[in-house]
Structure formats: C-alpha cells, structure tokens
C-alpha cells in the first residue's frame, strides 16, 4: 500500500478549510432560516399583556375615533400602517400614551396636523409616550396621526396565542388573518389595550394586492381601485371591542342574503368563503340566518342590526370579531346538526361585543354564556337529547382548580393560564353555572336576567340600547331581583370557590339524609328534587340539610333526576383526571 503523497495531504488540508468555511456558512444559513421561521422575538412585556390598568394619561381622554389604514404585503409578511386617532380631552394633559408593539417602529407622528420632532415620542416596551406641542385642557380635542410599519407578530397557534396568520389557500394564494384576543390590539394598531376602552367609531382602509378581498368590521363604505391594480377596502364599525378589530385577506368570494328580523329591520348577512367551497358556504349561510332568528327570539335583538352579520373563513379555528366573526371549522359535519364553532363565535356578538366584561376577571360573562348558547340552540333544533349531550360533554372537562371569579383585577393571561386562573372553566363551568341557575329560578326569571345583563334593560329594541360593560356582581344583583330572593350564596359557592359543592347522602332504613358540603362551610340552601318510586318531590335543604322517607328501605330513588344541579361527582373527577393531559377544546 502506498503511503499518502505530500500533494494529496496538501489538497486535503485545503479541502478541510473549504469544508469548515462551508460548514460555518451552512450553520449561519440554518440559524437565519430558523430565526425567520420562528420569526418571533418574545413580545415586549407590556405588549404581551392585555387588560393592564390604563395610565393616567389614557384615563384623561375619551378615545372617540380611529381611522386605520393598513397596507397588507403578504409576500413580505409586512404591514404599513397609518392611524389617525381622535380624542376628547377630559383632564389636562401635556402628553399622551398609547400601546403599540415596538416591533412596528413609528416613523412619524402628527398632532392636530402638525408633524412632531422625532424626539417628541418614544416607545418604551410597548408603551408609546407622545409629548404634545402644547398642553391640552378638558374639553379640547386632540388628533394624533401615527405612521408605522414592519413585520407584525406572528401567531404560532392562533387563536390561543395572538398575532398575524400568514397562510395560503389550496391554490397558493395569500390567506391572511389576525387574532389578538390574548395579546391585544397593540399587536397591529396604536390603541389602548384594555377591554374597558371601546372606540366610538373605527374606520378601516385595508389595501391588498389585486385579486384579493379584505372583509372587515362593520359596514362596507366602498372599495377603491388603486392605480397600481391593488384595491382598498373601506369599512366602518360602531363601538367595536378593540380586540375584535381584525384584518382578513384572501381571494374571497361572498355568499350573501338579507335577514328580515322579528324586530322589524332588514340587514345584510355575508359569508366570505374561499373559491371552490360555494356549496358548503351556502349551507353555512342558511344556518347563519336561522341562528340569528333563534338568538333574537331567545336573548334579544342582534346588537349590530344597523351594520351586518358577517362571517369569514379563516386559517385559524375562530374568534369573535365583531360583525366579521372568524370561522375556521372547515364545515365539519356534526351529528348534532349544527356548526358549533359558528354558533359559539356568533354568541359573542351578544356576550362579549354587546355586553363586554368590566374586567378580565369577569370573562365568564363572555365564555360561560357563549358556551351555554350551543346546548340551548341544540335543545331548540333537536330537542332535549342535543342539550343534555352537550351539557354532559362540558361537564367532563370542568377542572375546579381556581374560582371562575377571583374578585380582584386580572389580566387576560392570568385568567386563561390554567396555572394561575380558571382557564377552560370560564367556558364549561360557566355554562353549567347558568344551567343550574336556570333550573333554580326558572326560565322566565333566567332569560329576563340575561336580557337585562346584555342590554341594561328588559325590553331591548333596535335603537334603545348601546354596547355596555357588565360585571359578575351586577349579574348577581339582577338575577336576585328577577328571582325575588338573594342569590349571593349561589354565586359565592359556584363562582368564587374553586371546589364544587358536594352532596352527602346517607340512608338509614327508610330514611335518607342529604347534606351539602361546601368549601369553607359556606351556606348553600340549594333545593333538591328526588324521584322515589317514580314520584317526584322536592327537598328544600333550607339550612343545607334535608331528609326524605322511602316507602320501604328497598325502594329505588334518584337524586336530581333531571341533572339540574352542578355538584361534585366522583366518577367525573376520576375520568377528568385520566383525561387531564388533553386540553379542553375551547375557542376564541
């Protein structure tokens, strides 16, 4: 065997250097690809949170108008924005603050039409402070025009985390959506990221590449054709939740009809679908019209009767974007005979958009009511089996780890994180609390309470109500009034304690003793229906205890035969613990 010749050794040394350089370059390229794909630096702490207390400056103004222009550039995954914000000053200010993701740098700000020097504003971790050219007094008006742009934060698994979704249709066309409930409006426009702030009028101008459509919130003002072939979609919405402002872009087609309401008005119903899915879209449109009719008869007038009912097919599961609900359930056939996702998001037009939580601590007012409407719809569509089956499914995932309502200020994140708050219980336990309340106080008192909570009055008609903020304590007071009894004990145990009340049953001979066990021994005079040999009776349980007698010690009996009462159940607990690894299926 020949030894290795010197020349070959030299070649190999050079090869080695070449490979080393190529290796380093490849690693660098991989790192770039990884960063580009992962895309996201962690959000600035303030930007990541929603529902932080308003700053003093934010409390000193009334946020009246937002005129938002978004140039959407799908191929660059970038937006250019210009936001003209209109305020009425309520208390003297020398500067104003708003929230905006620092990853969308501001290039210019004008105050009342006058360009500000670059030194007049700064974005400190998502809180932009603008020093005004001159102080403003109560009663003054202020207009801020903010020009900004960049690559907005991308959601990894919308709608459970917020941001832009840059997707593609089957034909390879851009399919873009936003969902920012968790992180808030400041992910793509300058706003006050707090659910208590609803801008009076929000106008959107969404500029998209030729061949794409951009449905949005509220009424369509018109579509402009730009000289470069792109189109600008102009929309206007009244009092939207700020997290409900959404951008949706795709080669959408529209299925539409007119809804004739029992309240006398006529309104467009629009479903924006992707090409090739017309048949499914028409079927969903029919279901949408049927659903508005049912909700109006059950809860009250559709809150946005003067705008539209709008739903848009999105690449993510769903979100309650006011008058342009996100729908991403792929028209899945369901044995229940309805599309639960469309129904759930639509319910938020009442519970979320018309009635908005006063604090994220009251979020069950959105999700508990929103989740109860699916069983209620099923009872109407299919009779009792649909209702009971849906309730039983919800019952299996109640976690009881944290109270639904803590009684203190909470951010969206604290409520939704199952490590710090009730998480999925605001949906499923909230729904069961309503089911139990309805069983306790009856349909009349229950639905009147719901109506008063949603509209602030028992007799809502188009034109006699405005969007409003509500709280748990308010609903407790309304339900107590309508039921003609103090229901504090009911709400204290079900909403303000983590654990469920437990019914202890002991039988001695023909006597059955019932006793409620509650966290911290709280009073719980929940009456219980009992069937004994086919005969129904009610055990009042006034002091949390009660007794009934059987015809003989061997008689069969059933406690709570109609399953009206939410209470601790060993079998469900064991099953739930087994399933605990699987996340409950909740949406927007």
CA dihedral 490, 493, 499, 504 (to 10 degrees): -70
- For Zn ion, what does the binding mask look like between residues 529 and 568, x meaning CB under 5 A? ----------------------------------------
Does 102 bind Zn ion (CB under 5 A)? Our answer is no
Q: Nearest approach, Cβ of 137 to Zn ion (angstroms)? A: 42
Residue nearer to Zn ion on the CB measure, 126 or 588: 588
With CB under 5 A, what is the number of residues at the site for Zn ion? 3
Residue nearer to Zn ion on the CB measure, 97 or 343: 343
Q: Nearest approach, Cβ of 342 to Zn ion (angstroms)? A: 12
Residue nearer to Zn ion on the CB measure, 351 or 557: 351
Chain mean position to CA 485: 32
Residue nearer to Zn ion on the CB measure, 46 or 321: 321
Stretch that binds Zn ion, among 1-9, 195-203, 204-212, 370-378 (CB under 5 A): 370-378
Q: Which of 185, 189, 181, 186 is nearest to 159 (CA)?
A: 181
User: 3-class DSSP state for residue 351?
Assistant: strand
Stretch that binds Zn ion, among 24-32, 217-225, 366-374, 567-575 (CB under 5 A): 366-374
Residue nearer to Zn ion on the CB measure, 248 or 367: 367
User: 3-class DSSP state for residue 584?
Assistant: coil
Q: Nearest approach, Cβ of 274 to Zn ion (angstroms)? A: 23
Residue nearer to Zn ion on the CB measure, 102 or 310: 310
Residue nearer to Zn ion on the CB measure, 363 or 493: 363
Residue nearer to Zn ion on the CB measure, 179 or 493: 179
Q: Nearest approach, Cβ of 403 to Zn ion (angstroms)? A: 19
Residue nearer to Zn ion on the CB measure, 370 or 421: 370
Q: What DSSP string describes 28-66?
A: HHHHHHHHHHH--PPPPHHHH--SPPPPHHHHTEEEEEE
Range 299-358, binding Zn ion (CB under 5 A)? none
Q: Which of 351, 363, 370 is nearest to 422 (CA)?
A: 363
Q: Nearest approach, Cβ of 181 to Zn ion (angstroms)? A: 9
Cα–Cα distances in angstroms (integers) from residue 43 to residues 48, 74, 125, 154, 484, in the given order:
5, 21, 9, 10, 49
Asked whether 480 and 486 are in contact (CB, 8 A), the reply is yes
Does 370 bind Zn ion (CB under 5 A)? Our answer is yes
Stretch that binds Zn ion, among 294-302, 328-336, 368-376, 464-472 (CB under 5 A): 368-376
Stretch that binds Zn ion, among 189-197, 269-277, 360-368, 574-582 (CB under 5 A): 360-368
Cα–Cα distances in angstroms (integers) from residue 32 to residues 22, 37, 38, 156, 544, in the given order:
15, 8, 10, 18, 65
Residue nearer to Zn ion on the CB measure, 347 or 480: 347
Q: How far apart are CA 46 and CA 23, in angstroms?
A: 40
Look up residue 359 and give its DSSP letter: S
Q: Nearest approach, Cβ of 324 to Zn ion (angstroms)? A: 15
Q: Nearest approach, Cβ of 122 to Zn ion (angstroms)? A: 36
Residue nearer to Zn ion on the CB measure, 87 or 427: 427
Stretch that binds Zn ion, among 240-248, 361-369, 511-519, 546-554 (CB under 5 A): 361-369
Strand locations in 300-364 (E): 309-313, 318-319, 325-327, 355-357
Q: Which of 162, 102, 108, 151 is nearest to 130 (CA)?
A: 108
Q: Nearest approach, Cβ of 588 to Zn ion (angstroms)? A: 5
Residue nearer to Zn ion on the CB measure, 427 or 557: 427
Residues 6+ apart with CB under 8 A from 425: 398, 399, 400, 401, 402, 404
CA dihedral 415, 420, 424, 430 (to 10 degrees): -60
Class of residue 319 by CB neighbours under 10 A (exposed 0-12, middle 13-18, buried 19+):
buried
- For Zn ion, what does the binding mask look like between residues 211 and 240, x meaning CB under 5 A? ------------------------------
Q: Nearest approach, Cβ of 352 to Zn ion (angstroms)? A: 7
Q: How far apart are CA 375 and CA 219, in angstroms?
A: 31
Stretch that binds Zn ion, among 59-67, 252-260, 362-370, 531-539 (CB under 5 A): 362-370
Does 182 bind Zn ion (CB under 5 A)? Our answer is no
- Dihedral sign from CA coordinates of 100, 103, 104, 108: positive
372-375 long-range contacts (CB < 8 A, ≥24 apart) are 372/430, 372/431, 372/434, 372/435, 373/295, 373/343, 373/344, 373/347, 374/338, 374/340, 374/343, 374/344, 374/347, 375/431, 375/435
Q: Nearest approach, Cβ of 414 to Zn ion (angstroms)? A: 18
Q: Nearest approach, Cβ of 142 to Zn ion (angstroms)? A: 35
Does 588 bind Zn ion (CB under 5 A)? Our answer is yes
Range 414-443, binding Zn ion (CB under 5 A)? none
Q: Nearest approach, Cβ of 193 to Zn ion (angstroms)? A: 19
Q: Which of 122, 143, 139, 243 is nearest to 192 (CA)?
A: 243
- Rule CB under 5 A: which residues touch Zn ion? 367, 370, 588
């Amino acid at each position: 065997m020949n030894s290795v010749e010197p020349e070959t050794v030299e070649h190999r040394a050079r090869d080695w250097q070449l490979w080393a350089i190529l290796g380093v370059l490849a690693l660098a390229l991989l790192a770039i690809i990884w960063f580009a794909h992962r895309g996201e630096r962690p959000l600035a702490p303030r930007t990541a949170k929603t529902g932080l207390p308003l700053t003093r400056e934010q409390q000193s103004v009334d946020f009246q108008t937002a005129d938002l222009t978004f140039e959407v550039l799908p191929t660059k995954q970038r937006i250019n924005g210009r936001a003209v914000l209109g305020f009425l000053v309520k208390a003297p200010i020398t500067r104003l603050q708003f929230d905006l993701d620092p990853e969308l740098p501001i290039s210019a700000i004008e105050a009342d039409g006058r360009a500000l020097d670059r030194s007049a504003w700064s974005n400190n971790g998502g809180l932009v402070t603008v020093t005004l050219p001159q102080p403003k007094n109560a009663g003054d008006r202020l207009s801020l025009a903010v020009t900004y742009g960049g690559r907005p934060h991308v959601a990894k698994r919308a709608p459970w985390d917020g941001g832009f979704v840059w997707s593609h249709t089957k034909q390879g066309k851009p399919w873009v959506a936003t969902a920012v409930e968790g992180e808030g409006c400041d992910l793509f426009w300058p706003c006050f990221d707090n659910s208590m702030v609803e801008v009076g009028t929000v106008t959107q101008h969404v500029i998209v590449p030729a061949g794409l459509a951009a449905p949005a919130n509220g009424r369509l003002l018109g579509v402009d054709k730009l000289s470069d072939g792109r189109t600008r979609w102009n929309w206007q919405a009244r009092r939207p939740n700020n997290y409900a402002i959404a951008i949706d872009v795709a080669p959408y087609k529209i299925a539409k009809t007119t809804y004739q309401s029992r309240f006398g008005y006529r309104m467009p119903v629009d479903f924006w679908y992707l090409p090739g899915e017309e048949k499914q879209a028409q079927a969903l449109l029919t279901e949408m019209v049927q659903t508005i009719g049912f909700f109006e008869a059950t809860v009250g007038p559709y809150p946005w009767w003067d705008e539209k009912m709008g739903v848009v097919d999105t690449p993510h599961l769903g979100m309650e974007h006011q008058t342009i609900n996100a729908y991403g359930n792929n028209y899945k056939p369901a044995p229940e005979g309805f599309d639960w996702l469309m129904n759930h998001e639509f319910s938020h037009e009442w519970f979320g958009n018309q009635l908005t939580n006063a604090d994220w601590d009251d979020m069950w007012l959105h999700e508990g009511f929103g989740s109860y409407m699916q069983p209620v719809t099923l009872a109407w569509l299919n009779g009792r089996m649909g209702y009971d089956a849906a309730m039983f499914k919800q019952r299996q995932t109640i976690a009881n780890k944290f109270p639904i309502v803590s009684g203190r200020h909470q951010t969206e994140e604290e409520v939704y994180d199952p490590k710090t708050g009730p998480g999925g219980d605001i949906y499923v336990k909230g729904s069961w609390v309503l089911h139990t309340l309805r069983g306790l106080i009856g349909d009349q008192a229950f639905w009147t309470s719901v109506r008063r909570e949603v509209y602030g009055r028992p007799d809502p008609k188009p034109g006699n109500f405005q969007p409003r903020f509500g709280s748990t304590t308010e609903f407790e007071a309304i339900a107590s009034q309508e039921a003609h009894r103090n229901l504090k004990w009911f709400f204290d145990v079900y909403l303000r304690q983590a654990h469920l009340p437990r019914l202890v049953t002991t039988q001695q001979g023909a006597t059955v003793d019932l006793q409620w066990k509650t966290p911290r021994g709280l009073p719980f005079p929940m009456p219980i229906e009992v069937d004994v040999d086919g005969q129904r009776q009610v055990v009042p349980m006034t002091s949390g205890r009660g007794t009934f007698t059987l015809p003989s010690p061997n008689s069969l009996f059933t406690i709570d035969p109609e399953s009206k009462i939410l209470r601790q159940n060993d079998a469900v607990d064991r099953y739930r613990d087994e399933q605990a690894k699987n996340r409950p299926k909740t949406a927007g």
